[in-house]
Amino acid sequence: MKSRRKKRTVRAGPILPLILIALVIPACFNWLRQNSALLGLAGERAAMLAAAVNMPEEGIALLRERFEQELYTPPAEAQAPSQPQVHTPYTPGQPAGEQSAPGGESEAADMQGSSEADVKPPKIPKAYQANIINENFAVSEGAGIVRYQAGVIKNDSGHTDKEVENILETTFDLGFSDTVEPQVLIVHTHATEAFERYDTDVYDKRNTWRSRDNNMNMVSVGAAMAQVLEENGIGVLHDTTQHDYPSYNGSYERSATTIKAYLEEYPSIKVVLDLHRDAMERESEAIVKPVCMIDGKKAAQIMIIAACDDDGTLGVPNYKKNLRFAAALQSYIAGAYQDLARPVFFSYRKYNMDLSPGSLLIEFGSNANTLEEAVYSARMAGQALADLIRDNTRGTEEPAADADTDANGAGDAGVDEDVQTTQEEDEAQ
């Protein structure tokens, strides 16, 4: 077979190598990108070797260059959990930086002992540079903006602004009590969402902003928030299951299974927080970084998402209770930390908020923020939540009424217009 190939190559002259380069390189490269999470480093090398068979030296050099341009290197031997890790709560006092993902060393090892400001970002080839736009999402007035105490709601629902105000006239009450039992559950439907490695105005368009290393992804953000709650005496469970690995599709179904298991085992849970990071872009090649300065330090702005289900089609019967809780939490955050909280986004979303009256999704910054900025924000949000729970904790008396009596059972009667939110769960839901 080898001798036949050689004879054909000789007869075809210089044309055949050019055809191979044009056809084989793009096909192999695209296939590898789509399956990079499964191949690992050895798979990449094998694929490159297979694609390079019978290629001239220039073809091999081009293929190697394209592989080396990829930023994301899949961690070795990474395996998805076979079932939800419902018995792995966050350990109080354990720093977020010590929590490693199974199957790999920390990606943060090269930054140990240095702050982000001390580490210079690598040079990015000009062809792959694009801009990062720093923006403080200040609250604007007008239609769709509803104020609640110190906070603000962006009304993207079918309710009028007046109807939203009427919903918020009823004080939220989730029945917090003075107990050592866990009252807060923190989960991550998209745990592998990660951040920019450096505080810079230019990003690399090849970046995936994904990591299975729990020192670098949303698990670190959740750990920071959980630690602050524990420091304040609030019982909290932090689930570290990576529901979006190995498959992104079905992430919400898997996280729902995890949440249900916790709620069944720990009936004391009143609040379920699904922590994410946003992804925002403006124009064709620019990503937006929602950021503010608090005590002279950059913080990733936070956005709370609350479900709306006024016609009952989403199956979120307690959505008004969720909204009241979201508005109260946002008010506490805004009152304590100016500009940290973007307006609550009240819109037709579900995101497993049907599972508990205290269920919210919280976005910490975007893919343009750094992990340090997101962790800083998580600690402040955790303190605000602890203050809210403490201020609304009662003894053994009966809970106050929070009646939801719509006929369909659905309850009683900031997003910049120029920014496109590209958060992937919109597609997954």
In a shared domain, residues 225 and 300: yes
90 located within any domain: no
pLDDT category of residue 114 using cuts at 50, 70 and 90: very low
Does residue 138 sit in the same domain as residue 234? yes
Pair (40, 116) in one structural domain? no
Residue 21: what pLDDT? 52
> Do both 60 and 114 map to the same domain?
no
- Decide if 78 is inside a domain: no
Domain count along the chain = 2
Structural domain including 272 reads 96-428
Q: Answer yes or no: do 193 and 265 share one domain.
A: yes
Within-domain flag for 86: no
Same domain? For 58 and 100 the reply is no
* Alpha-carbon gap, residue 88 to 105, rounded angstroms: 20
Question: What's the rounded Cα separation, in Å, for the pair 216 and 225?
Answer: 15
Q: Are residues 6 and 140 in the same domain?
A: no
Is the entire prediction scored with pTM above 0.85?
no
Phi, psi of 282 (to 5 degrees): -130, 135
Residue 258 resides in a domain: yes
- Condensed to tens digits (0 to 9), the pLDDT of residues 294-351 reads 999 999 999 999 999 988 899 999 999 999 999 999 999 999 999 999 999 999 989 9
User: Which domain CATH number covers 273?
Assistant: 3.40.630.40
Q: Are residues 63 and 196 in the same domain?
A: no
Higher pLDDT, 391 or 46: 391
Is the pLDDT at 401 greater than 80, yes or no?
no
Q: 224 in a domain, yes or no?
A: yes
Q: Which of 68, 86, 105 is the last residue of a domain?
A: 68
Q: 147 - beta bridge partners?
A: 152
3-state SS class at 291: strand
173 within some domain: yes
356: tokens are: 């508990």
Distance CA 379, CA 361 (A): 16
**DSSP assignment string, 308-326:** --TTSSS--TTHHHHHHHH
- Bigger pLDDT: 417 or 250? 250
Residue 221 lies in a domain: yes
Domain edge (last residue) among 52, 68, 84: 68
Distance of CA 407 to the CA centre of its chain: 35
Task: Indicate if 321 and 245 belong to the same structural domain.
Answer: yes
What is the chain's mean pLDDT, rounded? 75
Asked whether residue 292 carries a pLDDT value surpassing 50, the answer given is: yes
Residue 193 CB partners (closer than 8 Å, separation 6+): 209, 210, 217, 218, 244, 276, 277, 367
pLDDT category at 138 given cuts 50, 70, 90 is confident
Same domain membership, residue 157 and residue 49: no
Instruction: Identify whether 87 is part of a domain.
Output: no
Q: Within this chain, do residues 46 and 100 fall inside the same structural domain, yes or no?
A: no
Q: 281 with 198, same domain? A: yes
How far apart are alpha carbons 403 and 170 in whole angstroms? 9
Query: Does residue 388 surpass a pLDDT of 90?
Result: yes
